[in-house]
A and B are shown apart, each in its own frame.
Chain A
Amino acid sequence: MELINLSDIYKIYNVGGEEVRALDGVNLKINNNEYLAIMGPSGSGKSTMMNMIGCLDTPTSGLYLFEGEEVHIMDDGQLASIRNRKIGFVFQTFNLLPKATALHNVEIPLVYANIKKDKRIEMAHKALENVGLGDRMHHKPNELSGGQRQRVAIARALVNNPSIILADEPTGNLDSKSGHEIMGILDELHAQGNTIILVTHEDDIAKHAKRTIRLFDGKITEDIKDK
């Protein structure tokens, strides 16, 4: 089933009077339960691509359909809603709220989804158990290791049962052992039927994915499926 359809996407910034084409006519289709890696050197447009897919940004021109919904014409509120319901973010720097416990961090997307407290706790518990942190729920981020923090972030991304998990350099701030664990979790999530999109510049990480696209100067230069 087709999940994401980007067609003829342009993202053009004006930097100091000069036109920068961060995305220069991108066409991309992503199906359900794909495991995709987006690669490219810095400045290739992969961050812009991730922001676009993650509905944090809208294209200058082009069509973006997410499960048939027209993202390219959405306003801020609609974008927020689609991010909340359909997209789980995993960031390189974890981006957990430092004063909140692991459980509370995982609960926050559910607060924005307006889910009742009891249900929220139950769902957050389940998500944390899924990533193997059942015994660390009441720890704050500074009481957790890097790998554990990233697992909390994954639990937060998962808790709303999103359509895609969007991981931006998920192992970039981790030692290789923790990084390996995190990739193991993502592999397993994919095996469970989740759609995962990785943004990375490391080949080792990209290897986990079943499909790799390469960006260069805002264009897709390579699209390798079913490795």
Chain B
Amino acid sequence: MLSLFFENFKISLSAVFANKLRSVLTALGIVIGVLSVTLMGTLISGLDRSFESSMSWLGKDILYVSRYEWFSDMEWWEVRNRPRIRPEYVEMIRKRSQYALAVCPVMQRGASLTYEDKETRTEIFGTNEDYMETISTDIQEGRFFTASEDRSGSRVTIIGHGLKEAFFEDESPIGKYIKIDNVKFRIIGVLEKQGKFLGFFSVDKQAVLPLGAFKRIFSKRGWMRLSVKLQQDKINEGLDEIFGIMRQIRRLKPSEKNDFAINQTKAFESQYNTLKFAIGGTGFFITLLSLIVGGIGIMNIMFVTVKERTREIGVRKAIGATNGMILSQFLMEAVIICLIAGLVGLFFAYVSSLFINKVFPSTLPLGLSIFSIMMSMVVGIVSGFIPAYKASKLDPIDSLRYE
């Protein structure tokens, strides 16, 4: 059987290469199919990776209490009518919660920062001394502010790594003064480099100030959210507890709906999964379509091949080939075309993935590559079967006479 396999393999290769242009055109559908399935896979794996790393600095154990849900279809006026989140809640939650490890208020606004003749616009955050507990970034240089600096309204700030590079390059910024909307702040710390969140925006340019100073100088009535860090093994209990505490604070009756929102990274996950599903679904559809078209092409060309080689089939049968041997010969030929097409598609996918990798980190998944090759071979078997079966059933006498 093995010698027949190699014989068939040789025949198939020579048949494919004898009709190069025809084979290339026939195989195009399969090439596109394999290309699309592997590229989608590459894209999704890249997205997964950048999503994972972005999520890791939000933290699964952090709850974000605010007026609005991150992803919701609520009407804006409904949200607008909700009461604000107040700084007093911080102490209330701290006192009443047994699962919260850290609670910090965060106010945020845009501001213009200047140092000597350099100027940039960025986001500034007003918060308390627990802030570092609720983000995954560490202090690279200097220190964070203390509770007493917060209470006294000290004008100190911790700047992001990007801001340090933009203003001070290799110099140490500790102890230097920058102006935030024309108010002088002393730099006491620098945050580590963070990278871009989901590949879109960077928080490396942020400046963090004590809430006391932030409120006094910039806005008394800006909106605020709370970040609550929970014990890692008590996240569900913690979530229930914080919901309860917030309802108590807001004095909501059991029949009343929540007038606040508690967000988790899970919300991102479900949004992300929707996106991933959309990309995957589109990819699947394109792949399926091109494989069907490709398969029809293969079937068509195999019918032509069988017709062209009717006499050869007759000779082979006369000298002892069984129907099964003829069937396997033509099936092999269809599979070889698809296999080569699959490998070509994979090659293009690999080259494309190198380019995609420049935009955001991604690799061609090995499992998917193997799968796509298997898939193209299955297409070969399925679409080659009917022509091969037809060939196997040809009458040797008629075939020998065929001109």
By a beta-carbon cutoff of 8 Å, the part of chain A in contact with chain B is: 51, 54, 56-57, 76-77, 80-81, 83-85, 89, 91, 95-97, 99, 108-109, 111-117, 120, 156, 160
Say yes or no: B7 contacts A77, CB within 8 Å. Answer: no
Q: Does B146 contact A (CB under 8 A)?
A: no
- Chain B residues, Cβ within 8 Å of A83: 317-320
- Chain A residues, Cβ within 8 Å of B18: 99
Q: Complex formed: what's the CA distance from A32 to B18 in Å?
A: 44
Q: Complex formed: what's the CA distance from A81 to B321 in Å?
A: 8
Smallest Cβ distance from A176 to chain B, in angstroms? 25
5 A–B contacts from the bound complex (CB under 8 Å): A80-B322, A95-B311, A111-B3, A112-B325, A114-B4
Q: Complex formed: what's the CA distance from A109 to B322 in Å?
A: 11
Q: Complex formed: what's the CA distance from A160 to B321 in Å?
A: 13
Q: Does B1 contact A (CB under 8 A)?
A: yes
Smallest Cβ distance from A98 to chain B, in angstroms? 9
Identity of the chain A residue whose Cβ is nearest the Cβ of B323 in the assembled complex: A76
Smallest Cβ distance from B9 to chain A, in angstroms? 12
Smallest Cβ distance from A114 to chain B, in angstroms? 6
Q: Does B112 contact A (CB under 8 A)?
A: no
Question: How many interface residues does B have (CB within 8 Å)?
Answer: 24
Say yes or no: B319 contacts A77, CB within 8 Å. Answer: no
Say yes or no: B322 contacts A117, CB within 8 Å. Answer: no
CB within 8 A of A89: which of B311, B319, B321?
B319
Q: Does B199 contact A (CB under 8 A)?
A: no
Q: Complex formed: what's the CA distance from A76 to B396 in Å?
A: 10
With A51-B397, A91-B400, A99-B14 known to touch, is A80 a contact of B321 (CB < 8 Å)?
Answer: yes
Smallest Cβ distance from B135 to chain A, in angstroms? 69
Say yes or no: B319 contacts A84, CB within 8 Å. Answer: yes
Q: Mark B1-13, 1 if CB is under 8 A from A, else 0.
A: 1011011000000
Smallest Cβ distance from B14 to chain A, in angstroms? 6
Assuming A56-B397, A83-B320, A112-B325, what are 7 further A-B pairs, CB within 8 angstroms? Answer: A51-B397, A77-B324, A80-B317, A95-B311, A96-B315, A99-B14, A112-B320
CB within 8 A of A117: which of B3, B315, B316, B318?
B3
Residue from A83, A85, A160 whose CB has the most chain B CB atoms within 10 Å? A83
- Chain A residues, Cβ within 8 Å of B319: 83-84, 89, 108-109, 112, 156
With A56-B396, A56-B397, A91-B400 known to touch, is A80 a contact of B3 (CB < 8 Å)?
Answer: no
Q: Complex formed: what's the CA distance from A89 to B397 in Å?
A: 13
- Chain B residues, Cβ within 8 Å of A113: 320
Identity of the chain B residue whose Cβ is nearest the Cβ of A91 in the assembled complex: B400
Smallest Cβ distance from A96 to chain B, in angstroms? 8
Q: Mark B305-318, 1 if CB is under 8 A from A, else 0.
A: 00000011011111
Smallest Cβ distance from A156 to chain B, in angstroms? 7
Q: Complex formed: what's the CA distance from A51 to B395 in Å?
A: 12
Q: Complex formed: what's the CA distance from A161 to B247 in Å?
A: 97
Say yes or no: B3 contacts A115, CB within 8 Å. Answer: yes
Say yes or no: B320 contacts A97, CB within 8 Å. Answer: no
Contacts of B321-339 to chain A: CB distance below 8 A: 321-325
Smallest Cβ distance from B346 to chain A, in angstroms? 29
